[in-house]
Amino acid sequence: MMRDSLAGLALLFACAGAAAAGSGKEAWIPEPMPTGFRVELTVIDGPVFADTKGHTLYRWPFKVMRNGITGDPRGESNCGSEPARLSGGLMSPYPPGLLMPELDTRPACTDVWPPALAADAAKDVGRWSIITRKDGRRQWAIDGAALYTSVLDQRPGDLIASDAGNHRGDLPAMRDPVGPVTDLPPGFAVISTHRGRVLRNERGFSVYARDAGRHGAASCDAACTRIWQPVPAPASARARGDWKVLVRDSGELQWSFRGQPLYLYLPDPRPRAQDGTDEPGWHLVYVQQAPPVPAEFTVQPTTGGLVVADANGRTIYTYACGDDAPDQLGCDHPTQTQVYRLALCGAGSAERCLKNFPYVPADRGARASGLWSVVSINPLTGRFAAAGDPGAQKVWAYRDRPVYTYAGDERPGDINADNYGELRAQRQGYNAIWLRNDFTREEG
């Protein structure tokens, strides 16, 4: 029905081969980097640039917010070394100039986001250049965007400081990880989801493969192609790394990835839909899959799709927070202020928070998996517990932040606390972990 075609096709890619082709990991296009920097592959967010210790590099994109603008302009850094004392009023409708919480311990921007400093002898390389900070120090930049690391990232490939898959409109001016370009043919995109890096076409529609076609010729006949459209390859396409070009009996060219002929599901009603997975024997295509959710958790159907739940079926929620100072610091990690979370979950009462949004206890034998880990928390402060703390509890965490259930959810499938918080929980609040959302929102 179809045969591999390796010859006679013009060059499609301009650069060298993919860095991790054939490994089952996401491949990227190598590019010149300054000495000491490298590429790390993250768990679900693709390849990122990292410093000599393997710490992920971030930029702080200039962002137009509801009531103003913040972030780094091209060629400059607005991340200062003095703690911001006053709110920026960027979070509509409140005014600026309010004294920020916990001023006595509030860090400066550079305490949290250390600049990636350049040595005196360092010179521009490719997209990498050097800018001069306000204090005269030299800082690396990519495409003119100043680069930082995060104090939250501990290990190579960590991406604790940013949720790269979350770019909703009213989020704080977040720092984004930077990395090399994923090695894909034109017409494809890769998106971060809770299940891994999923392949889409250029319009955002899911790309599928058939289980039976996994290791060889496709078996999607004429009847099959009435709902499964082969992803066409241009005449100029050629095989490269994990990607091959198949010639169908009709003479049409079709992309395949890691031996899987690729298709679109014509009934998919919108970009990001994954209705094709409801057809037996068909699956989404991941360039890199996330490790499985720990066995202690379940997946529950809701009125909107599928969410991660605890063993009793209660929906699991993450908490995210960015403050309203001009430097837009995080406030959702146990090493950061808990003022916002305690206000939202308990009107300032930690005890009430524990009743409304209890932590998810981890059993003694609980094992980390991917971005899921077990952390020791002092439940009354919300901070990591100090050694020997008698009140410490072992709880589940996602991206190094504790997760919660909501006592207002009475039954499996309830999602009463999803997007519960300021500006639909984009500024601060709780979100369910969606593995599939059938109603347009990104599936996680």
Under the rule (CB under 8 A), what is the footprint of another protein?
A: 66, 87, 91-95, 97-102, 170, 269, 301-305, 324, 334-335, 337-340, 342-344, 346-352, 355-356, 378, 381-386, 389, 407-408, 410-411, 415-416, 418-425, 438-441
Rg (CA), the chain: 23
Nearer to another protein, 79 or 331 (CB): 331
Indicate the SS3 state at residue 125. strand
**Looking at beta carbons only, is 69 or 386 nearer to another protein?**
386
Q: CA dihedral in degrees (273, 160, 357, 292; nearest 10)?
A: 50
Closest approach, Cβ 312 to another protein, in A, equals 16
Query: Nearest approach, Cβ of 314 to another protein (angstroms)?
Result: 13
- What is the Cα 435 distance to its own chain's centre? 13
Q: In terms of CB distance, is 25 or 436 closer to another protein?
A: 436
Q: How far apart are CB 48 and another protein at their closest, in Å?
A: 23
What's the DSSP call for residue 72?
A: B
For residue 280, give every residue at least 6 positions away whose Cβ sits within 8 Å of its Cβ, in sequence order, or none: none
Beta carbon of residue 345, minimum distance to another protein (angstroms, whole number): 9
Decide if 443 contacts 308 (C-beta within 8 A): no
Smallest CA-to-CA distance from 142 within 108, 171, 110, 118 is with 118
Closest CA to 375 of 353, 357, 355, 393: 393
> In terms of CB distance, is 28 or 420 closer to another protein?
420
Task: Please give the structure tokens belonging to residue 313.
Answer: 């079926």
In the complex, the smallest distance separating the C-beta of residue 213 from another protein, rounded to whole angstroms, is 27
CB closer to another protein, 250 vs 349: 349
Decide the pairing of beta strands 383-384 and 317-321.
Answer: unpaired
Nearest residue to 58 via CA among 77, 36, 34, 81: 77
Indicate the residue among 1 and 350 with the shorter CB distance to another protein: 350
Within 10 Å of residue 396's Cβ, how many Cβ atoms? 23
In this complex, which beta carbon is closest to another protein, that of residue 26 or of residue 414?
414
Q: Are 154 and 141 in contact (CB under 8 A)?
A: no
Minimum CB–partner distance for residue 409 and another protein (Å): 9
Residue nearer to another protein on the CB measure, 165 or 234: 165
Q: Which is nearer to another protein, 108 or 407 (CB)?
A: 407
Identify any residues that bridge with 261 across adjacent strands, giving them in sequence order: 256
276 by DSSP, 3-state: which? helix
d(CA 17, CA 206): 25
What is the smallest separation between the CB atom of 11 and another protein, expressed in angstroms? 41
Least separation in angstroms between CB 32 and another protein: 37
The rounded distance, in Å, linking the Cα atoms of 439 and 308 is: 17
Q: How far is the CB of 239 from another protein (least distance, A)?
A: 39
Pair 143, 181: CB distance under 8 Å: no
The residue among 319, 324, 321, 336 whose CA lies nearest residue 113 is: 336
